[in-house]
Chains A and B, each alone.
Chain A
Amino acid sequence: MTARSLKIQKLITLFILGVIFYCTPFFSLFNVDKEFLGVPVLYLYLFISWGLLITLTAFVIEFPRMKSLNSSK
Chain B
Amino acid sequence: MIQNWAIISTSLLYLGVLFAIAYYGDKRAQENRSIISNPYIYSLSLAVYCTAWTFYGSVGRAANTGVGFLPIYLGPTLMAALWVVVLRKIIRISKKNRITSIADFISSRYGKSPILGGIVTVIAVIGIVPYLSLQLKAISISFQIISTHPGIHVQGEPVFHSLFDDTTFYIALILALFTILFGTRHLDATERHEGLVAAIAFESVVKLIAFLAVGIFVTYGLYNGFGDVFTRASRIPELEKLFTLNKEVTGTWGDWLWLVFLSMMAIMFLPRQFQVAVIENVNEKHVEKAVWLFPLYLFVINLFVLPIAFGGMMHFSDGSVNPDTFVLSLPIVEKHNTLALLVFIGGFSAATSMVIVETIALSTMFCNDLAMPILLNLKFLKLDQRKDLSSLLLFLRRSSIVLVLLMGYFYFRFIGEYFSLVSIGLISFCAVAQFAPAILGGIFWKGGSRTGALAGLIAGFIIWVFTLPFPSLVQVGILPERILTEGLFGVGLLKPYQLFGLQGFNPISHTLFWSMLFNVGLYVTISLYSKRSGIEQTQASLFVDIFKYTGGVEFSPTWRGTAPVKELHSLLRKFLGEPTANRLFRDYARKRKINLKETFEVDADFVQFAEQALAATVGSATARAMISTVVKEEPLSPDEVKSILDETQQVIAYSRKLEEKSRELERATAELKAANQRLQELDRLKDDFVSTVTHELRTPLTSVRAFSEILYDNTDLELSQRQHFLKIIIKESERLTRLINQLLDLQKIESDTMDWNIERIDIVELVKDAVQATSQLMNEKSITLDMNVPDQPLYINGDPDRLTQVMLNLLSNAIKFSPEEKGLITINIAREGDQVLVSVKDNGIGIRKEDQGLIFEKFRQVHNPVDGRPSGSGLGLAITRQIVEYHQGKIWVESSPGLGSTFFFTLPLASEMAMETSPESSEQPQE
Name A residues whose Cβ lies closer than 8 Å to a Cβ of B.
Answer: 7-8, 11-12, 14-15, 18-19, 22-23, 27-28, 31-33, 35, 37-40, 42-43, 46-47, 50-51, 53-54, 57-58, 61-62
Given that A12-B82, A43-B67 are known contacts, is A37 also in contact with B291, CB under 8 Å in the complex? no
Q: Is B924 an interface residue (CB 8 A)?
A: no
Q: Can you name 15 extra interface pairs (CB under 8 A) apart from A18-B78, A31-B253, A54-B77?
A: A11-B81, A22-B71, A22-B74, A22-B78, A31-B245, A33-B240, A33-B243, A38-B227, A40-B230, A40-B234, A40-B244, A43-B67, A50-B299, A54-B296, A61-B292
**Chain B residues within an 8 Å CB radius of A51:** 299
Q: Complex: how many Å from CA A37 to CA B257?
A: 28
B243 with A53: CB separation less than 8 A: no
**Chain A residues within an 8 Å CB radius of B303:** 47
A58 with B231: CB separation less than 8 A: no
Q: Is B80 an interface residue (CB 8 A)?
A: yes
Instruction: Sort chain B's interface into a size bin.
Output: 20 to 34
- The B211-265 residues at the A interface (CB cut-off 8 A) are 226-228, 230-231, 234, 240, 243-245, 253, 256-257, 260
Chain A minimum-CB-distance residue to B296: A54
Question: Nearest chain B CB to A7's CB is how many angstroms away?
Answer: 7
B81 with A33: CB separation less than 8 A: no
A35 with B288: CB separation less than 8 A: no
Q: Complex: how many Å from CA A28 to CA B288?
A: 32
Return 23 A-B CB contacts under 8 Å, by A number: A8-B84, A8-B85, A11-B84, A11-B291, A14-B81, A15-B81, A18-B74, A22-B74, A23-B260, A28-B253, A31-B244, A31-B245, A31-B253, A38-B227, A38-B230, A39-B230, A40-B234, A43-B243, A46-B74, A54-B295, A61-B288, A61-B289, A62-B292
Q: Is the interface of B mostly helix, strand, loop or mixed?
A: helix
Given that A31-B244, A61-B292 are known contacts, is A11 also in contact with B82, CB under 8 Å in the complex? yes
Q: Is B306 an interface residue (CB 8 A)?
A: yes
Question: Nearest chain B CB to A56's CB is how many angstroms away?
Answer: 9
Q: Complex: how many Å from CA A37 to CA B231?
A: 9
Question: Nearest chain B CB to A50's CB is how many angstroms away?
Answer: 6
A38 with B81: CB separation less than 8 A: no
Question: Nearest chain A CB to B449's CB is how many angstroms away?
Answer: 28
Q: Is B198 an interface residue (CB 8 A)?
A: no
**Chain A residues within an 8 Å CB radius of B70:** 46
Q: Complex: how many Å from CA A44 to CA B80?
A: 22
Question: Nearest chain B CB to A15's CB is how many angstroms away?
Answer: 4
Number of A-B contacts defined by CB within 8 Å? 91
Question: Nearest chain B CB to A65's CB is how many angstroms away?
Answer: 15
B80 with A57: CB separation less than 8 A: yes
Give the 8 A-B CB pairs with smallest separation, nearest first. Answer: A38-B227, A40-B243, A15-B81, A58-B292, A38-B231, A57-B292, A18-B78, A14-B81
Chain A minimum-CB-distance residue to B233: A40
Question: Nearest chain A CB to B327's CB is how many angstroms away?
Answer: 19
A57 with B81: CB separation less than 8 A: yes
Chain A minimum-CB-distance residue to B227: A38
A43 CB contact (under 8 Å) in B296, B299, B306? B306
Q: Complex: how many Å from CA A50 to CA B303?
A: 11
**Chain A residues within an 8 Å CB radius of B85:** 8, 11-12
**Chain A residues within an 8 Å CB radius of B291:** 11, 57, 61
**Chain B residues within an 8 Å CB radius of A28:** 253
Chain B minimum-CB-distance residue to A30: B244
Question: Nearest chain A CB to B360's CB is how many angstroms away?
Answer: 30
Question: Nearest chain A CB to B667's CB is how many angstroms away?
Answer: 22
Chain A minimum-CB-distance residue to B81: A15
Chain B minimum-CB-distance residue to A19: B78
- The B270-319 residues at the A interface (CB cut-off 8 A) are 288-289, 291-292, 295-296, 299, 303, 306
**Chain A residues within an 8 Å CB radius of B82:** 11-12, 15
Question: Nearest chain A CB to B247's CB is how many angstroms away?
Answer: 11
Q: Complex: how many Å from CA A31 to CA B295?
A: 23
**Chain B residues within an 8 Å CB radius of A15:** 78, 81-82
**Chain B residues within an 8 Å CB radius of A57:** 80-81, 291-292, 295
Question: Nearest chain B CB to A16's CB is how many angstroms away?
Answer: 9
Counting chain A CB atoms within 10 Å of each CB, the highest count among B70, B228, B244 belongs to B244
Counting chain A CB atoms within 10 Å of each CB, the highest count among B67, B230, B234, B243 belongs to B243
**Chain B residues within an 8 Å CB radius of A8:** 84-85
Q: Complex: how many Å from CA A49 to CA B518?
A: 34
**Chain A residues within an 8 Å CB radius of B296:** 54, 58
Q: Complex: how many Å from CA A14 to CA B292?
A: 11
Q: Complex: how many Å from CA A58 to CA B80?
A: 11
B227 with A37: CB separation less than 8 A: yes
**Chain A residues within an 8 Å CB radius of B257:** 23
**Chain A residues within an 8 Å CB radius of B81:** 11-12, 14-15, 18, 57
Complex interface bits, B152-164 against A, C-beta within 8 A gives 1, otherwise 0: 0000000000000
**Chain B residues within an 8 Å CB radius of A42:** 67, 243-245
Chain A minimum-CB-distance residue to B70: A46
A50 with B244: CB separation less than 8 A: no
**Chain A residues within an 8 Å CB radius of B84:** 7-8, 11
Given that A7-B84, A58-B292 are known contacts, is A50 also in contact with B74, CB under 8 Å in the complex? yes
Question: Nearest chain B CB to A26's CB is how many angstroms away?
Answer: 11
**Chain B residues within an 8 Å CB radius of A11:** 81-82, 84-85, 291
A22 with B230: CB separation less than 8 A: no
Question: Nearest chain B CB to A64's CB is how many angstroms away?
Answer: 10
**Chain B residues within an 8 Å CB radius of A38:** 226-228, 230-231, 234
Chain B minimum-CB-distance residue to A11: B81
Q: Complex: how many Å from CA A58 to CA B299?
A: 14
Q: Complex: how many Å from CA A33 to CA B239?
A: 12
**Chain B residues within an 8 Å CB radius of A7:** 84
Question: Nearest chain B CB to A25's CB is how many angstroms away?
Answer: 9
**Chain B residues within an 8 Å CB radius of A32:** 244
Question: Nearest chain A CB to B845's CB is how many angstroms away?
Answer: 51
Q: Complex: how many Å from CA A70 to CA B837?
A: 39
B71 with A39: CB separation less than 8 A: no
Q: Complex: how many Å from CA A11 to CA B257?
A: 21
Q: Complex: how many Å from CA A31 to CA B80?
A: 25
**Chain A residues within an 8 Å CB radius of B230:** 35, 38-40, 43
**Chain B residues within an 8 Å CB radius of A54:** 77, 292, 295-296, 299
**Chain B residues within an 8 Å CB radius of A50:** 74, 77, 295, 299
Question: Nearest chain A CB to B286's CB is how many angstroms away?
Answer: 12
Question: Nearest chain B CB to A27's CB is how many angstroms away?
Answer: 7
Given that A7-B84, A11-B82, A61-B288 are known contacts, is A39 also in contact with B74, CB under 8 Å in the complex? no
Q: Complex: how many Å from CA A37 to CA B80?
A: 32
B253 with A27: CB separation less than 8 A: yes
Question: Nearest chain A CB to B443's CB is how many angstroms away?
Answer: 15
B295 CB contact (under 8 Å) in A27, A35, A37, A53? A53
Q: Complex: how many Å from CA A6 to CA B180?
A: 44
Q: Complex: how many Å from CA A73 to CA B67?
A: 45
Q: Complex: how many Å from CA A28 to CA B296?
A: 25
Q: Complex: how many Å from CA A72 to CA B234?
A: 50
Q: Complex: how many Å from CA A11 to CA B290?
A: 13
Question: Nearest chain A CB to B572's CB is how many angstroms away?
Answer: 39
Q: Complex: how many Å from CA A27 to CA B71?
A: 13
**Chain B residues within an 8 Å CB radius of A23:** 257, 260
Chain B minimum-CB-distance residue to A18: B78
**Chain A residues within an 8 Å CB radius of B71:** 22
Q: Complex: how many Å from CA A42 to CA B250?
A: 13
Question: Nearest chain B CB to A61's CB is how many angstroms away?
Answer: 5
**Chain B residues within an 8 Å CB radius of A22:** 71, 74, 78, 256, 260
Q: Complex: how many Å from CA A43 to CA B231?
A: 13
Q: Complex: how many Å from CA A33 to CA B237?
A: 12
A39 with B227: CB separation less than 8 A: yes
Q: Complex: how many Å from CA A47 to CA B306?
A: 11
Chain A minimum-CB-distance residue to B257: A23
Q: Complex: how many Å from CA A33 to CA B296?
A: 28
Q: Complex: how many Å from CA A14 to CA B67?
A: 22
A39 with B226: CB separation less than 8 A: yes
**Chain A residues within an 8 Å CB radius of B244:** 31-33, 40, 42
Question: Nearest chain B CB to A52's CB is how many angstroms away?
Answer: 11
